């Protein structure tokens, strides 16, 4: 049993170590979504990898969720797809617009956790 598990774990670790750098967003320090065009506010502070480590967010789909026919698909994620692919910057009345999508995702969690910024100027830092 152990003999079979060990190589499996090793293989899993190797695959992980190989894939992780490809997905790493170490360079991302702010969000300034080009879909907003000029934008009214300074970019929002978001050090992707450091933030997610501190907040212990290891399930990528918490933010990169995937939907099909209006239903969230558990076990799937939308890594590689910008939020703006599904949340338009200029939404129709029945759509969740891009700004609301970002604000709801970021602020709801900060409120629930009692941690992380809630005020405009704490995210959109001049
Ligand atoms: C938890 C962080 C956070 C807080 C708090 C927050 N925002 Fe944002 N906001 C974002 C993110 C992330 C985006 C999308 C990325 C970007 O800035 O382009 C965004 C986008 C925007 C945009 C559209 C892009 C632009 O610059 O025109 C506006 C306008 C905006 N926010 C205004 C506000 C205002 C006003 C408040 C306070 C009432 C606020 N935000 C609070 C994170 C935040
Ligand atoms: C707290 C929310 C959050 C978590 C958790 C998160 N991300 Fe992201 N990630 C974002 C946001 C926001 C963007 C910018 C999206 C955009 O530009 O439309 C982004 C962008 C990316 C990008 C750039 C390409 C793209 O999809 O737009 C990659 C790759 C990525 N994330 C991978 C990951 C991986 C892998 C994980 C899990 C280990 C993860 N993310 C977890 C919020 C998150
Ligand atoms: C594959 C398409 C798709 C992508 C990519 C996507 N979303 Fe969504 N999202 C949806 C759909 C569909 C809904 C259901 C609400 C609606 O009708 O718009 C939704 C709902 C939401 C909600 C409200 C429900 C909830 O789960 O909290 C928020 C907030 C949200 N998205 C934020 C984001 C952010 C931020 C990103 C990028 C990190 C993102 N979404 C990427 C399709 C997507
Ligand atoms: C699922 C929960 C969750 C989501 C979603 C989330 N955050 Fe956070 N965020 C946290 C927690 C928890 C902390 C406090 C982490 C700590 O300092 O220990 C935090 C802290 C922060 C901080 C303080 C500095 C730092 O990096 O620790 C910033 C800035 C921030 N979040 C921005 C954002 C933005 C912008 C988004 C949306 C794109 C977002 N967060 C989405 C949970 C979340």
Residue 41 in any domain: the answer is yes
For ligand 1, mutation pick of 33, 38, 41 (most atoms within 8 Å of CB) = 41
Alpha carbons 43 and 40: distance in angstroms, whole number: 9
Residue 12 in any domain: the answer is no
Could you identify the atom of ligand 3 that is nearest to the CA of residue 83? 37
Alpha carbons 44 and 51: distance in angstroms, whole number: 13
pLDDT band at 17 (very low <50, low <70, confident <90, very high): low
Residue 17 in any domain: the answer is no
Query: What is the domain count for the chain?
Result: 1
For ligand 3, mutation pick of 63, 76, 96, 110 (most atoms within 8 Å of CB) = 96
Residue 8 in any domain: the answer is no
- What is the per-residue pLDDT across 60-76, written as a single tens digit (0 to 9) for each? 999 999 999 999 999 99
Residue 6 in any domain: the answer is no
pLDDT band at 93 (very low <50, low <70, confident <90, very high): very high
């Amino acid at each position: 049993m152990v003999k079979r598990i060990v190589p499996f774990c090793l293989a899993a670790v190797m695959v992980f170590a190989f894939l992780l750098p490809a997905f790493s967003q170490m360079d991302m320090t702010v969000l300034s979504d080009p879909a907003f065009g000029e934008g009214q506010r300074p970019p929002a502070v978001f050090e992707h990898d450091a933030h997610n480590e501190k907040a212990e967010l290891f399930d990528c789909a918490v933010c990169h969720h995937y939907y099909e026919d209006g239903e969230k698909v558990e076990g799937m994620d939308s890594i590689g797809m910008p939020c703006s692919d599904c949340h338009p910057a200029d939404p129709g009345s029945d759509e969740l617009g891009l700004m609301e999508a970002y604000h709801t995702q970021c602020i709801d969690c900060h409120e629930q956790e009692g941690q992380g910024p809630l005020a405009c100027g704490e995210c959109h830092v001049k």
